[in-house]
Chain A
Amino acid sequence: MKLDVDGKTVFAYTANHELDASKGSVVFIHGAGLDHSWFGLQSRYFGYHGWNVLAPDLPAHGRSAGPAFTSVGAMADWVVKLLDAAGVERASLVGHSMGTLVALDCAARHPARVERVALIATANPMRVGEAFLDAAKRNSYDAFDMHTIWGHAPQVPLGGNPNPGMWMYGDSQARLERLAPGVLYAGLKASNDYAFAGDVKCPVLFILGKRDVMTPPRAAKTLQEQIPGAKTVVIDFSGHSLMAEAPDATLDALIEFLRP
Chain B
Amino acid sequence: MAGPKYPGFDTLALHAGQSPDPATGSRAVPIYQTTSYVFRDTEHAASLFNMERAGHVYSRISNPTVAVLEERMAALEGGVGAIATASGQAALHLALATLMDAGSHIVASGSLYGGSHNLLAYTLKRFGISTTFVNPRELDEWQRAIRPETRLLFGETLGNPGLDVLDIPALAEIAHGIKVPLLVDATFTTPYLMQPFKLGADLLYHSATKFLGGHGVAIGGVLVDSGRFDWGASGKFATLTEAYAGFHNMDFEEESGTRAFLLRARREGLRDFGACMAPMTAFQILQGIETLHLRMPRHVENTRAVVAFLAKHAAVERVIYPELPEHPDHELCKKLLPQGAGAVFSFEIKGGRPAGKAFIESLRVFSHLANVGDAKSLVIHPATTTHYRMSDADLKKAGITAGTVRLSIGLESVQDLIDDLDRSLKVSQK
Residues on A lying within 8 angstroms of B by beta carbon are: 13, 16, 35, 37, 40-42, 44-45, 48, 62-63, 129, 131-132, 135, 142, 145-146, 149-150, 155, 157-167, 169-171, 173-175, 177-178, 247-248, 251
**Contacting pair B17 A161 (CB below 8 A):** yes
**Contacting pair A167 B71 (CB below 8 A):** yes
Given contacts A40-B255, A167-B71, A247-B53, 5 further A-B pairs with CB under 8 A are A135-B2, A165-B62, A170-B75, A174-B227, A175-B227
**Chain A: minimal CB distance from B16 (Å):** 6
Given contacts A165-B83, A175-B257, contact A142 B3 (CB under 8 A): yes
CA gap between A175 and B227 in the complex, in Å: 8
**Chain A: minimal CB distance from B87 (Å):** 17
Q: B residues within 8 A CB of A131?
A: 2-3
Q: B residues within 8 A CB of A174?
A: 80, 226-228, 258
The contact of B81 among A63, A160, A171, A247, by CB within 8 Å, is A171
Q: 8 Å CB contacts to A: which residues of B60-113?
A: 62-64, 66-68, 70-71, 74-75, 78-84
Nearest first, the 7 A-B pairs at minimum CB distance are A174-B227, A167-B74, A165-B70, A164-B62, A45-B52, A166-B81, A164-B67
**Contacting pair B19 A158 (CB below 8 A):** yes
CA gap between A208 and B66 in the complex, in Å: 30
List 25 contacting pairs A-B, 8 Å CB cutoff, sorted by A: A44-B50, A44-B52, A45-B47, A132-B3, A149-B6, A157-B6, A158-B7, A158-B18, A159-B17, A160-B67, A161-B67, A164-B55, A164-B62, A165-B67, A165-B81, A166-B259, A167-B79, A169-B75, A170-B81, A173-B78, A175-B227, A175-B258, A178-B230, A247-B54, A251-B52
**Contacting pair B262 A165 (CB below 8 A):** yes
**Contacting pair A41 B81 (CB below 8 A):** no
State the majority secondary structure of interface residues on A: helix
**Chain A: minimal CB distance from B30 (Å):** 11
Q: Which residue of B lies closest to A213 (CB)?
A: B4
Q: A residues within 8 A CB of B16?
A: 157-158, 167
Given contacts A142-B3, A164-B70, contact A41 B54 (CB under 8 A): yes
Q: B residues within 8 A CB of A251?
A: 52-53
**Contacting pair B51 A44 (CB below 8 A):** yes
Q: B residues within 8 A CB of A62?
A: 257
CA gap between A150 and B3 in the complex, in Å: 9
**Contacting pair A160 B19 (CB below 8 A):** yes
State the majority secondary structure of interface residues on B: loop
Q: A residues within 8 A CB of B259?
A: 37, 166, 171
**Contacting pair A146 B3 (CB below 8 A):** yes
CA gap between A173 and B80 in the complex, in Å: 8
Q: Which residue of A lies closest to B249 (CB)?
A: A16
Q: 8 Å CB contacts to A: which residues of B125-164?
A: none
B392 within 8 A of A: no
Q: A residues within 8 A CB of B4?
A: 145-146, 149-150
Q: B residues within 8 A CB of A44?
A: 50-52, 255
Q: Which residue of B lies closest to A162 (CB)?
A: B54
Q: B residues within 8 A CB of A48?
A: 50, 52
CA gap between A158 and B84 in the complex, in Å: 19
Q: A residues within 8 A CB of B7?
A: 157-158
Q: B residues within 8 A CB of A45?
A: 47, 52-53
B15 within 8 A of A: yes
**Contacting pair B54 A248 (CB below 8 A):** yes
Q: B residues within 8 A CB of A158?
A: 7, 11-12, 15-16, 18-19
**Contacting pair B250 A157 (CB below 8 A):** no
B173 within 8 A of A: no
Q: B residues within 8 A CB of A145?
A: 1, 3-4, 6
B361 within 8 A of A: no
CA gap between A247 and B53 in the complex, in Å: 7
**Contacting pair B78 A170 (CB below 8 A):** yes
Q: A residues within 8 A CB of B226?
A: 170, 174
B318 within 8 A of A: no
**Contacting pair B19 A155 (CB below 8 A):** yes
B430 within 8 A of A: no
Q: Which residue of A lies closest to B226 (CB)?
A: A174
**Contacting pair A165 B74 (CB below 8 A):** yes
**Chain A: minimal CB distance from B163 (Å):** 29
B206 within 8 A of A: no
CA gap between A13 and B75 in the complex, in Å: 29
Q: B residues within 8 A CB of A167?
A: 16-17, 71, 74-75, 79-82
CA gap between A170 and B78 in the complex, in Å: 6
